[in-house]
A and B are shown apart, each in its own frame.
Chain A
Amino acid sequence: MEDLIRAENLGVTLGGKVVLEEITFSARAGDLTGIIGPNGAGKTTLLRAVLGLVPVQKGELTVIGVPSSRVKEIRPRIGYMPQRQSFEQRFPLSSADVVATGLLSPGTLLRRIDNKEKKIQTALKSVGMAHLSSWPFQDLSGGEQQRVLLARSLVRSPALLLLDEPNAGLDFPAQQSFMELLQKLKEKEGLTIILVSHDLISIAAASDQLVCINRTMHIHGQPADVLRSPHLDEAYRCQFDFLSSTGDKERSWH
């Protein structure tokens, strides 16, 4: 399968500070790639580089066959779900209104959006939220809000989906339900997903490969291999024990 993202010795400097350097990995089409690393590791910056929102100063980054300098041209093919704190929770929009914001692009400026309602309803249906399309967004539970935001990132039928800590702030059942939904979308729609998360156990269970960074590249590969690797301890600057028995992973912290 082709690689939808290919990064080679990627380097990003923001305001004179090196945020990412020598990041090398690739994400195959149809795979779910988990990005892990401690706070401040540059995970969100990596997603923003893939979106073309921050300039790449060193190395090469290719997204859906296009170099990072031209990513703007293919933005409609990339779905993005930022962290929850980037928006006002009490904003007076319905679920459908929130999804509609995902349809806006430079191409829709001063223009009517074709089949707008159909696209919104299809996106909401794909995340199991069509029945609450007219419901105020602020009255939804945290898990439901995340589903609506996921629908917003899916409304343009992207080939690549970038999710920045979608499980943050959710209770365990809501996290589980969201991860199951991602798996379903991946299998049914053939979506390529890049998922940033702090929850090592659930991201490892869901991912086809893990990429561990802390400003630089630490390790990438099969989830089980990454979790057993001493490079993971190096990246987090602490020691993990991952006990693998009958496929279940448990974690203890020293």
Chain B
Amino acid sequence: MSDILAYSFMQRALLAALLVGTLCSTISFFVILKRLSFLGAGISHTALGGIALGLVIGVDPVLTGTIFAVGTAMSTGYISRIGRISEDTVIGIFYASGMAFGIALISTFKGYYPELFALLFGNILSVSIRDLLLMGLSLGLILIFVLLFFRELLAICFDEEMAEAGGLPVNLLYMGLLAAMGLTVMVSIQLVGVVLVAALIVIPGAAAYRLSKNYRIMLVLSLAVGLTGSFGGLIFSYYYPVPPGATIVLVLALIFAVVMVLKPLHERLRQRFPLIKRSGGAR
């Protein structure tokens, strides 16, 4: 195990797994509670258009991809609200259009673009110091946003109408959450790629949601699942010749499958041997 840390590329990869795992698990908590899973897939596929555009015009594809990802997330929220169209419909349109735009641009490429393949399928082993700084900056910004407005974001996820009636700036906070989601997707693309990134922002929260009836525990479990998947997948790919993006997602999927199997068993045991009994009262 210690041989992993002997290589500087693995040290950077492990640090990237820690940063992105923490970032995705935190956002995943809100993605599940606000039912935005499909938006994650939509943002990542739209980002392909931005990445391809960056490569064509000679601008950093991470920058153009980030603009596309954040822009898609916020536009989806805005259009669905002002146009009274369901978010699913808007995402479906962006998803296909962004992907088509990316494919059209890629078809014009002449030669080999290693950056494109790294972003399509992820390449955590080639993460640079600059990439790590970008991930750390994104994590810092998103954590500050979440910590400052956690109660309000939770209230919006639970009952937006009530939050609005209470006078909270619901649209502003929701747009902030979507922007954070867009940024998270783009940062995470470097870890697992465009194709697989949705799993990273859906599975940790989904597994935790199945396991807990308390949001505090759900958040901790989401972090535990996300970090286990990120580190577990990365370490697995070190010993076996499988791309790390794929192993990270497979470990996460395995955790979710175990949760799906064990949860009903746990529920049955809990009903048979209740630890806490309800006291009487109004029913």
Interface residues in chain A, defined as those with a beta carbon under 8 Å from any beta carbon in chain B: 15, 51, 53, 72, 75-76, 78, 80, 82, 86-88, 91-94, 97-98, 100-102, 104-106, 109-110, 127-129, 131-132, 135-136, 138-139, 141, 143-144, 147, 152, 174, 177
Could you tell me if A87 and B281 are in contact, using CB atoms closer than 8 angstroms? no
Instruction: Give the CA-CA distance A88 to B279 in the complex, in Å.
Output: 25
Residues of B close to A147: CB separation below 8 A: 282
Q: Which of B17-25, B211-219, B235-243 contacts A (4 or more CB under 8 A)?
A: B211-219
Instruction: Give the CA-CA distance A19 to B281 in the complex, in Å.
Output: 42
Residues of A close to B158: CB separation below 8 A: 87-88, 91, 93, 98, 101
A127-B282, A139-B213 given; name 13 further pairs at CB < 8 Å.
Answer: A82-B159, A86-B160, A88-B33, A91-B33, A91-B215, A92-B217, A93-B154, A93-B158, A93-B215, A101-B162, A102-B162, A110-B148, A136-B214
Could you tell me if A92 and B162 are in contact, using CB atoms closer than 8 angstroms? no
B283 interface hit (Cβ, 8 Å)? yes
Q: How far is the CB of B195 from chain A (nearest CB, A)?
A: 29
Could you tell me if B163 and A101 are in contact, using CB atoms closer than 8 angstroms? yes
Total residues of chain B contacting the partner, CB 8 A: 35
Could you mark each residue 100-130 of chain B with 1 if its beta carbon is under 8 Å from any beta carbon of chain A, else 0? Answer: 0000000000000000000000000000000
Q: Please name the residue on chain B nearest to A98 by beta carbon.
A: B158
Could you tell me if A105 and B215 are in contact, using CB atoms closer than 8 angstroms? no
Could you tell me if A53 and B164 are in contact, using CB atoms closer than 8 angstroms? yes
Instruction: Give the CA-CA distance A136 to B270 in the complex, in Å.
Output: 14
Query: Which 10 residue pairs spanning A and B have beta carbons closest together?
Result: A136-B213, A87-B159, A101-B155, A128-B282, A80-B165, A82-B161, A75-B167, A92-B215, A86-B161, A131-B281
Q: Please name the residue on chain B nearest to A83 by beta carbon.
A: B161
Could you tell me if B282 and A104 are in contact, using CB atoms closer than 8 angstroms? no
B84 interface hit (Cβ, 8 Å)? yes
Could you tell me if A132 and B162 are in contact, using CB atoms closer than 8 angstroms? no
Instruction: Give the CA-CA distance A194 to B139 in the complex, in Å.
Output: 46
Question: Assuming A104-B151, A143-B282, is B159 touching A92 (CB within 8 A)?
Answer: no
Instruction: Give the CA-CA distance A105 to B212 in the complex, in Å.
Output: 28
Could you tell me if B281 and A132 are in contact, using CB atoms closer than 8 angstroms? yes
Q: How far is the CB of B67 from chain A (nearest CB, A)?
A: 28
Partner of B165, one of A75, A88, A110, A129: A75
Q: Please name the residue on chain A nearest to B279 by beta carbon.
A: A131
Could you tell me if B282 and A177 are in contact, using CB atoms closer than 8 angstroms? yes
Could you tell me if B162 and A106 are in contact, using CB atoms closer than 8 angstroms? no
Question: Assuming A82-B162, A87-B158, A93-B215, is B33 touching A104 (CB within 8 A)?
Answer: no
Q: Which label, helix, strand, loop or mixed, suits the secondary structure of the B interface?
A: helix
B169 interface hit (Cβ, 8 Å)? yes
Could you tell me if B159 and A72 are in contact, using CB atoms closer than 8 angstroms? no
Instruction: Give the CA-CA distance A102 to B149 in the complex, in Å.
Output: 15
Instruction: Give the CA-CA distance A80 to B218 in the complex, in Å.
Output: 28
Partner of B168, one of A104, A127, A136, A152: A104
Could you tell me if A86 and B165 are in contact, using CB atoms closer than 8 angstroms? no
Partner of B283, one of A94, A109, A144: A144
Residues of A close to B87: CB separation below 8 A: none
Q: Please name the residue on chain A nearest to B168 by beta carbon.
A: A104
Q: Please name the residue on chain B nearest to A147 by beta carbon.
A: B282
Residues of A close to B161: CB separation below 8 A: 82, 86
Residues of B close to A143: CB separation below 8 A: 282-283
Instruction: Give the CA-CA distance A141 to B169 in the complex, in Å.
Output: 31
A53, A101, A147: residue with the most chain B Cβ atoms closer than 10 Å = A101
Could you tell me if B215 and A101 are in contact, using CB atoms closer than 8 angstroms? no
Residues of A close to B163: CB separation below 8 A: 101, 104
Q: How far is the CB of B167 from chain A (nearest CB, A)?
A: 5
Q: Please name the residue on chain B nearest to A143 by beta carbon.
A: B283
Partner of A94, one of B164, B166, B214, B280: B214
Q: Please name the residue on chain A nearest to B162 by beta carbon.
A: A82
21 contacts between A and B (CB under 8 A): A15-B84, A53-B165, A75-B167, A82-B162, A86-B162, A88-B33, A93-B215, A100-B151, A101-B159, A101-B166, A105-B167, A106-B167, A106-B169, A109-B168, A109-B169, A129-B281, A143-B283, A144-B282, A144-B283, A147-B282, A177-B283
Instruction: Give the CA-CA distance A104 to B151 in the complex, in Å.
Output: 8
B149, B167, B212, B278: residue with the most chain A Cβ atoms closer than 10 Å = B167
B152 interface hit (Cβ, 8 Å)? yes
B209 interface hit (Cβ, 8 Å)? yes
